[in-house]
Chain A
Amino acid sequence: MNTPYPKAADHGLAACHTCGRVSPVTLGKCPRCGSHLHLRKPASIQNTLALMAAAAALYIPSHMLPIMTVSELGVVTTNTIIGGMMTFWRSGAYPIAIVIFTASILIPMLKIVALSWLCAAATGRVHPSPAALGKVYWFTELLGRWSMVDIFVVGILVSIVQLGNYMTITPGPGALAFAGVVMLTMFAAMSFEPRMLWDRLDELSSAPPSNDSATTPS
């Protein structure tokens, strides 16, 4: 309220989630497309946290279980993500190993960590600078989609390499878990309401931290 530039929310205005039209939130529904109007995404922190917890729960099996099973002339080999990366590393294919490590191991983990950190910042548990928050949020948005590369590779291999007895590739349970991880982190990133971060900053700058820090505007 004391900010130099008033926010829309201060005037009871909300942008429609679907079509983007700015309307008074008291209307309840967007006059243009009929979607529900909210000042902020409802229960976004909780949703994000829940989805992230789910992603974290699947992260462990996704790396312990084989992601694909290659049977070549009766020789059956199962590969986990880490195992495959190690194989590439040992055989000297360092760039590929680094790509796999980054895309499959590091990025999902970083995303989970970053989103958690953002959630903590949104609820006022940590107090980073706005610039850092912005960088981290951009980072999560940017990197999220690249984790799907592994699943694409497995999907393509499975559908192409079906040569009967000579060579067959079948997806392992790890692929299912890993796809779950990637999708859940994407959903978590989508359900996160970045404006919450700036709301918190506004509160901090305007007034001393209040008791209703745990409350979530909706």
Chain B
Amino acid sequence: MNDEPTSTPAATPEILRARRWNIVWVVPLVALLLGGWLLYRNFAAQGPVARVRFDTAEEIYAGKTEVRCRSVKVGIVKDVKLADDLKSVLVYLELAPASEGLLRRGTRFWVVKPRLSAAEISGLGTLIQGSYIELDPGPQDAEKWTLFKGRETPPATNRSVPGRRLTLTAEEAGSLSIGAPIYFRGFEVGRIEGRELAENGLKVTYNAFIKENYSHLVTENTRFWNTSGIDISANAEGVKLRTPSFQAMVSGGVSFGVTDGENPGNPATDGMSFTLFRDEDAARHSTFNPTVKFLLLFDQTVRGLTEKAPVEFRGITIGRVAQISFDLVAGADDPRIPVLIELDPSLVRPETAREMTKPDSVFFSEEVSKGLRAALKTGSLLTGALFVDLDYYPDAAPAKLEKAGDFTAFPTTSSGFAQLEAKLSAILDKIQAMPLEQTMADLAAAAAEAKTTIAESRSTLREIEATAAAARKTLEDPEFRELPADLRKSIAALEKSIASVGPDGAVQGDLLRTLDELRASLRSLKSVATTIDEKPNSLLFGRDSSGNPTPKAPRAAR
């Protein structure tokens, strides 16, 4: 130790140049990679952020409220901000990185919170857990989207549930609410998912959902009608009360079906639009397909005839009134009132719609030549509503289909009150034609005769009067007045004679005596009769001829 430093004082330590690249540089490289990866994982690989606009942020808390898809957590509410217009809130949702595919155009968001209504009770679990935002992903092929409009009410079904989604259009909403059931033959097959006003408030559009299992039941010619409420109808068969299920009574309901005898057509596709009819009858009556239009020219009042009034053929509705307007016949100086009707020829033609051999125009012109005419008839005497009736009038004046402006004019005949008027006038004419003056003359002669008769009867009366006066004279005669006194006298004499017959009268004493004698003779006659009865031969042989000496007659007489 001591030698070596002295022998090689400063030269021996070998001084090596540091290698330019040392293994230690791997450390910062690794650190860089690690730091970069951590940063990347935290920021670049962070899930997408969606902005959802809600009316209110009730029950939504930043950093707490979860976003769930079919109850699986896919994200969290990152922030809640008021929108610039202060009329809504913007909720920023941070989704898990793998959930990027859920944010598509058409994805729906709504807040799941406890809901309690007549139709449903849902979201009770959120009473304890706290509410969450449910995400219903949009269609598979839709483009990516990050700004959404949140729903205030949950849709009845998730879009991911397979089934048929249709649009129903109605004139008014009625009592049909979201979540209302859809029935097929009384069997629940779907639900109403949503409703909104459409076409500037003229119509109500419903989103209907039919479950996958039953989606084939909806075809092109299917008709939907409202089955809400209670239907009471009274007719010749009595009173009929129809009620849907309790739920349908409360929240409304929809039924659908194909009219009997109609071809169902092809199965419906998603997004098809159907008309929602007011009730089943309206749906059934809607089957007609007006393809033929005729112009009717009435020379009578059409008061009571409205548009959509029925056109009937012997009671079967085959069309309706489309328009009543003088504009239909342009420029015509015609006081007759033009009424445009539309008909479904398949309802009036005997052939089925598929096998119509002749064109409709030919068919109708033939029928017109057979006497088919249109007439206005009174549908209701109460309301005075009119309808158009087609019927055969064999004795109508011959007519045919004519061209009138843009339309074909169908021959009309007056009917109803108009016919009644005509008949009344005919009666009046007949009355007018009767020989009234002659009759009057006869009547006058008869009256004259009657006058003479009356004069004669008057003279007769006068004679009767004279007779009466004579009678009065006779009555006033004093001899006639003494007649009662005579009569009294006669009665007194009569009384006296009757008194002689009474108990104190001489006649009475004679009578009693005579009666005593008669009784004695009858008694002796009775003994004789007894003797003869007991011993009939005593008549011949006397009373003592019998062996029995006991006298019976004295005992009987006693």
Contact B17 A216 (CB under 8 A): yes
Supposing A10-B9, A50-B25 touch, asked if A61 and B39 sit within 8 A by C-beta, the answer is yes
Q: How many B residues, CB 8 Å from partner?
A: 36
A18-60 vs B, CB cutoff 8 Å, 1 = contact: the mask equals 0000011111000000000001001101110011011111101
20 contacts between A and B (CB under 8 A): A12-B5, A12-B9, A12-B10, A24-B1, A24-B5, A25-B13, A26-B4, A50-B22, A50-B27, A55-B31, A57-B32, A57-B35, A58-B31, A61-B39, A65-B38, A65-B42, A76-B76, A77-B63, A173-B42, A217-B15
Contact B18 A12 (CB under 8 A): no
In the complex, which residues of chain A have a beta carbon less than 8 angstroms from the beta carbon of B354? none
B30 proximal to A (CB < 8 A): yes
Interface positions of B (Cβ within 8 A of A): 1, 4-5, 8-10, 12-19, 22, 24-25, 27-32, 34-36, 38-39, 41-43, 63-64, 66, 76, 130
Supposing A10-B9, A12-B5, A12-B12 touch, asked if A50 and B28 sit within 8 A by C-beta, the answer is yes
A166-179 vs B, CB cutoff 8 Å, 1 = contact: the mask equals 00000001101100
Contact A11 B19 (CB under 8 A): no
Supposing A57-B32, A58-B31 touch, asked if A43 and B9 sit within 8 A by C-beta, the answer is no
Closest to B27 in A: A54
Complex Cα distance, B8 from A46, in Å, reads: 29
Supposing A50-B22, A58-B34, A173-B41 touch, asked if A218 and B28 sit within 8 A by C-beta, the answer is no
| Chain A interface residue number, banded | 35 or more
* Nearest CB of chain B from residue A18's CB, rounded to whole Å: 18
Supposing A43-B22, A50-B28, A75-B64 touch, asked if A177 and B34 sit within 8 A by C-beta, the answer is yes
* Nearest CB of chain A from residue B27's CB, rounded to whole Å: 5
Contact B32 A54 (CB under 8 A): yes
Q: Which of B9, B13, B17, B22 has the most CB of A within 10 A?
A: B13
A64 proximal to B (CB < 8 A): yes
Closest to B15 in A: A217
In the complex, which residues of chain B have a beta carbon less than 8 angstroms from the beta carbon of A53? 28, 31
Contact B38 A11 (CB under 8 A): no
Contact B27 A12 (CB under 8 A): no
* Nearest CB of chain B from residue A44's CB, rounded to whole Å: 9
Contact A46 B35 (CB under 8 A): no
Contact A46 B22 (CB under 8 A): yes
Complex Cα distance, B38 from A176, in Å, reads: 9
In the complex, which residues of chain A have a beta carbon less than 8 angstroms from the beta carbon of B15? 215, 217-218
Complex Cα distance, B193 from A152, in Å, reads: 56
Contact of A13 among B5, B34, B66 (CB under 8 A): B5
Complex Cα distance, B8 from A176, in Å, reads: 50
Complex Cα distance, B34 from A62, in Å, reads: 11
Contact of A25 among B12, B27, B38, B66 (CB under 8 A): B12
In the complex, which residues of chain B have a beta carbon less than 8 angstroms from the beta carbon of A25? 12-13
Contact B22 A61 (CB under 8 A): no
8 shortest interchain CB distances as A-B pairs: A54-B31, A54-B28, A53-B28, A11-B5, A24-B4, A61-B35, A57-B32, A50-B24
